[in-house]
């Protein structure tokens, strides 16, 4: 099971409890606390002299966990990390000697560091449970409709079926701010950000009976997933029938995400789509929205299903499954090992805080 949690929910209550405990001077307790946090991250690859200058707020600690996740999710990507107190940020030196500031996972050069609002963080979502429409509030349903349907269907009065039946929103949600990723990071991590650059890198892989082009980072990972899935006995009828129902499995397609100018992970061959021959069930929210303005209310059980063994194998190897999004993309798996690492590191840090609370 994936866990939902908020770092602040653990961090701040613990801090207050720790500092207000009897038996030690307040300043001494705070120093002990800061030292233990400092050495926690020093043991995980950060320079001690950098950490001494670092301001350990909850938001800054979250950035440290994200930085660890990127570093360890892509071994060899980052050669060196140094804290720059004048910018309150970490300067990363990559394998190719290029340098970018972490900037909350936006990966920006110095000249853009003052313009963070223009850029999207590369870590902008996390592993989550499948969003079940049965749990959606009326406000969320109205926001989904107002935000996504006008781009795909003719605007019309909305009558929401039971059980949701939300009232019309008093005001539309604020417009989405159009932000882009820093494409230079794509050059560093994936070896390019144009079709010509990426196509020069592609390699062929055999995966679940299909042969297709993918990124060399992905090829060995897909081989491991294939081996794990195909290790199950032939008597697994659900798996056998599912594989027989597919019409294609593909990775590379140089294109933007539908309705945006942001390149899809398929453009870098860092994602995999599994497409069934029979497409009578809901698979992708944008396709379904063309004929069903209430696509977001489609029960999870009524959507196209992928066997759990396949989903688990992908996720265990660092992929994010699009079936977990409220804007579901069930056929889609994208390689985001930093998200898996971030979940692990958040859980470990929360456990560390609990141990520290017991010490107090």
Decide: helix, strand or coil at residue 213. Answer: strand
What pLDDT, on a 0 to 100 scale, did the predictor assign at position 11? 52
Peptide bond into 163 cis (omega under 30): yes
Residue 84 near residue 76 (C-beta atoms within 8 A): no
pLDDT tens digits for range 154-176: 434 334 444 444 444 445 444 44
Question: Who contacts 22 (Cβ-Cβ below 8 Å, separation ≥6)?
Answer: none
In the chain, what are the domains?
Answer: 7-125+341-359 (no CATH), 183-337 (3.30.1380)
Residue 254 near residue 198 (C-beta atoms within 8 A): yes
What pLDDT, on a 0 to 100 scale, did the predictor assign at position 97? 93
Stretch (H or E) spanning 341: helix 337-359
Query: How many C-beta atoms lie closer than 10 Å to residue 205's C-beta?
Result: 23
pLDDT tens digits for range 204-255: 999 999 999 999 999 999 999 999 999 987 778 999 999 999 999 999 999 9
Rounded Cα distance between 324 and 330, Å, is: 8
Rounded Cα distance between 143 and 275, Å, is: 29
What pLDDT, on a 0 to 100 scale, did the predictor assign at position 162? 40
pLDDT tens digits for range 282-331: 999 999 988 888 898 999 999 999 999 999 999 999 999 999 988 899 99
Residue 78 near residue 93 (C-beta atoms within 8 A): yes
Residue for token pair 């926001």: 143
What pLDDT, on a 0 to 100 scale, did the predictor assign at position 258? 82
Rounded Cα distance between 220 and 235, Å, is: 27
Stretch (H or E) spanning 241: helix 237-245
Question: Residues in the chain, how many?
Answer: 360
Instruction: State the pTM of this model.
Output: 0.82
pLDDT band of residue 146 (cuts 50, 70, 90) is confident
What pLDDT, on a 0 to 100 scale, did the predictor assign at position 149? 66
Residue 257 near residue 263 (C-beta atoms within 8 A): yes
Peptide bond into 97 cis (omega under 30): no
Residue for token pair 């897909």: 222
């Amino acid at each position: 099971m994936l866990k939902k949690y908020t770092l602040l929910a653990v961090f701040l209550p613990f801090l207050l409890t720790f500092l207000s405990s009897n038996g030690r001077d307040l300043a001494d307790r705070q120093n002990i606390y800061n030292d233990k946090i400092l050495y926690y991250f020093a043991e995980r690859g950060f320079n001690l002299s950098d950490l001494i200058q670092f301001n350990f707020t909850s938001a800054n600690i979250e950035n440290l966990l994200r930085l660890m996740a990127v570093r360890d999710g892509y071994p060899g990507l980052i050669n060196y990390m140094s804290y720059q107190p004048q910018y309150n940020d970490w300067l990363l030196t990559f394998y190719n000697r290029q340098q970018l500031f972490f900037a909350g996972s936006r990966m920006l050069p110095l000249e853009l560091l003052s313009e963070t609002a223009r850029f999207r963080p590369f870590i902008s979502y996390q592993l989550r449970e499948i969003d079940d429409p049965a749990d959606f509030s009326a406000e969320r349903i109205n926001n989904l409709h107002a935000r996504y349907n006008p781009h795909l269907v003719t605007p019309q009065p909305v009558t929401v079926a039971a059980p949701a039946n939300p009232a019309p929103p008093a005001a539309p949600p604020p417009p989405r701010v159009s932000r882009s990723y820093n494409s230079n990071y794509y050059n560093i991590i994936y070896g390019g950000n144009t079709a010509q650059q990426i196509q020069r890198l592609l390699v062929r892989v055999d995966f679940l009976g299909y042969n297709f082009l993918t990124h060399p980072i992905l090829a060995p990972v897909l081989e491991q997933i294939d081996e794990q899935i195909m290790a199950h006995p032939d008597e697994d009828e659900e798996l056998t029938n599912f594989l027989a129902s597919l019409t294609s499995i593909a990775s590379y397609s140089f294109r933007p995400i539908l309705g945006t100018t942001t390149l899809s992970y398929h453009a870098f061959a860092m994602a995999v789509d599994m497409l069934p021959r029979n497409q009578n069930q809901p698979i992708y929210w944008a396709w379904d929205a063309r004929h069903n303005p209430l696509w977001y209310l489609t029960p999870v059980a009524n959507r196209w299903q992928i066997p759990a063994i396949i989903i688990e194998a992908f996720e265990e190897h660092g992929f994010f499954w699009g079936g977990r999004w409220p804007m579901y993309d069930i056929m889609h798996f994208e390689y985001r090992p930093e998200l898996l690492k971030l979940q692990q590191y958040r859980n470990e840090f929360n456990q560390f805080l609990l141990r520290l609370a017991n010490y107090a």
